[in-house]
Chain A
């Protein structure tokens, strides 16, 4: 463990970018948890006397068509956007790693079946598949989560399959097998835990993509129900106001979205260094 922290300190000091990303990440987490408590205005309350105000001391990010405070809405949206991404990634992580591990461990027709499934998903234009799923299953946040989870599933399944496959016949596994462990037990207690580090890297890299996907879906009008604040839909709604000069409506939620994705991607990169410096490609 001590080794790990030493390495962690080395990575962070050697790589200030990761440090910045980590700080940003903490900030987003804090905002997601406490955002609704610290907003200066009610993010849903309209105010007829203050519509479309440019950024000012009272309204840092200006106000929208209904006089709602954009700053408050951007803050509050953090929770929803992160929640969508986290739950989507969690679902695809769990499902994908289980399917992938089984495929890698048992091989044979299990492997074939899982392989076909992931191939089929991968052969779809992924964003369009997500759109189709949300359109077909109904216009809700849950369905955005499911759709995002489904299109991410193959990545986890593939990583897990490779990692398990490599370790299937490793010495420590053979030893455990000789000790009389059942296959499933073997997989669950000895092999699967070893696949987690590379999977974590995948998770972090995937988070950014999941946020972008969810925002893209709500940008084209699928998913989030008004008046809920969400970055993607705020950009979509603000888009109509850019030309008339009300740039703040789209800029701030867009920037928040960008920053969040950026931070996840950098973090994923850093995490990769942390877990295995040689793997960094």
Chain B
């Protein structure tokens, strides 16, 4: 298969995503216009009278008809303008850009935690199916997915910070005493390492620990299940039996041959899990005062900041589409069969 085919496949996938993105824009627009509360009233501030509210309404373009507003919105979007947040007074794009690294850093660390727990569990379960090991693995991951994050988060803070004092104060990305490292990637842990400041690195990591574990626990189940299933399938296949029969070491068979072949479905699940996490960490961010885009979205929804909600949802959707695209690309690169039959 040559490179141009792959590019064509990728371009095709991109085109497929476009209608969804447009759908999202329409749905978000309608949904946010239906939010309660009059943004003009909010924006006009306390002690504003009818006249100044009307002024604000006009300056925000809220006196125009919905289709007109939608066209204006689309026009702005094309120019990359997400509008100015009603509640914070900053351009939404700027707000999201400032907060996205916090969310990504948390989600990635949660994912790393999740992978490093779920995959061993899944493999363990697959090598001893229907034994007590399998049952225990299943119990653990099911318990993980059953925890309401807002509840476990609260109690972890209570126990580890307030009672035991081992965790740092749940104050977002860094404790009061630290200032953020010089920004390079805006991932505090990585920036701290770049700056060669290990104390800061550990401080940032300590802040990340509790929310990342809370978030990661929730996604153990799909990963572990998929690992188990994929491993079971691979382990019962002919080439593994051949490998075993040829006297290869058990661990070599397991990790080198079996796991590698089970990677593909795991990777797909990983993509789903990541986008799921990015969306579901709003509650975790709220509990841990994490200054990410999730807590931004909750705040915006509560104050009916339609511009911010719109921008957030759109950004998330685009991220989702990009993520799926990346997985597709990886898939295309790893799996020689993809592309030939499409």
- Interface set of A (CB-CB < 8 Å, partner B): 14-15, 17, 116-117, 119-120, 122-129, 131-133, 135-138, 208, 212, 215-216, 219-221, 232, 235-236, 239, 242-243, 247, 250-251, 254, 257-258, 261-262, 265-266, 269, 280-281
Contacts and interface: CB of A to CB of B under 8 A. Distances in A.
A135 B142 contact: no
Contacts, number: 148
Contacts of A117: 23
B149 to A, nearest CB: 8
A242 B302 contact: no
A132 B158 contact: no
Q: Pick the 3 closest A-B CB pairs, nearest first.
A: A281-B229, A125-B279, A120-B23
A73 B120 CA distance: 41
Given A212-B146, A216-B148, A220-B286, 12 more contacts: A122-B320, A124-B27, A126-B280, A132-B32, A132-B301, A220-B302, A242-B155, A250-B155, A254-B148, A265-B142, A265-B145, A281-B230
B182 interface: no
Q: Which of A123, A126, A242, A251 has the most CB of B within 10 A?
A: A123
Contact of A242 (B158, B232, B283): B158
B130 A125 contact: no
A128 B312 contact: yes
B148 A250 contact: no
Interface string B24-35: 100110011011
Interface of B: 19-21, 23-24, 27-28, 31-32, 34-36, 130, 135, 138-139, 142-143, 145-151, 154-155, 158, 162, 221, 225-226, 228-230, 232, 276, 278-280, 282-283, 286, 294, 297-298, 301-302, 304, 309, 312-313, 316-317, 320-321
Contact of A127 (B226, B279, B304, B321): B279
Contact of B313 (A125, A221, A266): A125
Given A247-B158, A254-B151, A136 B31 contact: yes
7 contacts: A17-B138, A123-B320, A132-B309, A135-B36, A232-B150, A250-B154, A258-B146
Contacts of B313: 124-125, 128-129, 132
Contact of A133 (B31, B142, B150): B31
Contacts of B24: 120, 123-124
B36 A136 contact: yes
A123 B318 CA distance: 8
B19 A126 contact: no
A194 B20 CA distance: 31
B162 A243 contact: yes
Contacts of B286: 220
Contacts of A208: 145-146
A122 B135 CA distance: 31
B316 A125 contact: yes
Contacts of B298: 131, 220
A177 B25 CA distance: 42
A128 B279 CA distance: 7
Nearest to B25: A120
Contacts of A215: 148
Most A Cβ at <10 Å: residue of B36, B149, B226, B301: B301
Nearest to A239: B154
A235 B143 contact: no
Contacts of B309: 132
Nearest to B27: A120
Contacts of B154: 235, 239, 242, 250
B142 A281 contact: no
Contact of A126 (B36, B225, B279): B279
A247 to B, nearest CB: 7
Given A221-B302, A269-B142, A123 B20 contact: yes
Contacts of B145: 208, 261, 265
B283 A219 contact: yes
Contacts of B278: 125
Contact of A17 (B36, B139, B276, B283): B139
A137 B228 contact: no
Contacts of B297: 125, 128, 131
Contact of B36 (A120, A138, A232, A251): A138
Best-surrounded residue of B151, B304, B309 (most CB of chain A within 10 A) = B151
Given A135-B36, A235-B151, A220 B283 contact: yes
Contact of B146 (A131, A133, A261, A280): A261
